[in-house]
């Protein structure tokens, strides 16, 4: 699983911007447990165009089969789906509040509290 994140001190929080997220946490979920196995720098974050495409290819090359997002634009959303990567959104009422910790988002996924996305959802 891939999750776009920002790092604040020693903690990771979901980034509101998929393509411009500075980092991506790769998370392995096994039953009710999870491990952050790697945190990748998003080398595409500062590209003028094609950020989403580059990130989708990076995640696909790492074997990511699902992402947890606050939001994503249409281009990246449909590329993720084309690559067989499932998209899950943190509920809008939670996403619109303060920073969402990575741990909370993954626990929500494990507890089936995230729905698979049917369409893009861009964050302001």
Q: Is 110 among the domain residues?
A: yes
Closest Cα to residue 53, out of 67, 73, 37, 25? 73
pLDDT confidence bin for 38, thresholds 50/70/90: very high
Query: Are 15 and 21 spatial neighbours (Cβ–Cβ below 8 Å)?
Result: yes
Tens of pLDDT along 56-109? 999 999 999 999 999 999 999 999 999 999 999 999 888 777 789 999 999 999
Residue scoring higher pLDDT (37 or 93)? 37
The domain spanning residue 25 has which CATH number?
3.30.420.130
- The token pair at 8 is 């604040």
The total of structural domains in the chain comes to 1
Q: Which range of residues forms the domain containing residue 88?
A: 2-116
Give the residue-averaged pLDDT of 109-123: 92
Task: Answer whether residue 47 shows pLDDT above 80.
Answer: no
Q: Is 70 among the domain residues?
A: yes
Q: Is 21 among the domain residues?
A: yes
At 117, which helix (H) or strand (E)? none
Q: Is 124 among the domain residues?
A: no
User: What does the pLDDT read at residue 50?
Assistant: 57
Rounded Cα distance between 106 and 86, Å, is 14
């Amino acid at each position: 699983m891939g999750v776009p994140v920002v790092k604040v001190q020693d903690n990771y929080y979901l980034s509101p911007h998929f393509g411009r997220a500075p980092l991506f946490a790769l998370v392995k979920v096994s039953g009710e447990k999870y491990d952050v196995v790697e945190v990748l720098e998003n080398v595409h974050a500062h590209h003028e165009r094609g950020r989403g495409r580059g990130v989708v290819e990076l995640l696909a090359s790492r074997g990511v089969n699902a992402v947890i997002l606050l939001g994503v634009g249409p281009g990246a959303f449909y590329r993720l789906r084309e690559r067989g990567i499932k998209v899950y959104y943190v509920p809008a009422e939670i996403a619109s509040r303060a920073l969402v910790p990575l741990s909370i988002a993954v626990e929500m996924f494990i507890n089936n509290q995230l729905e698979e996305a049917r369409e893009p959802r861009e964050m302001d």
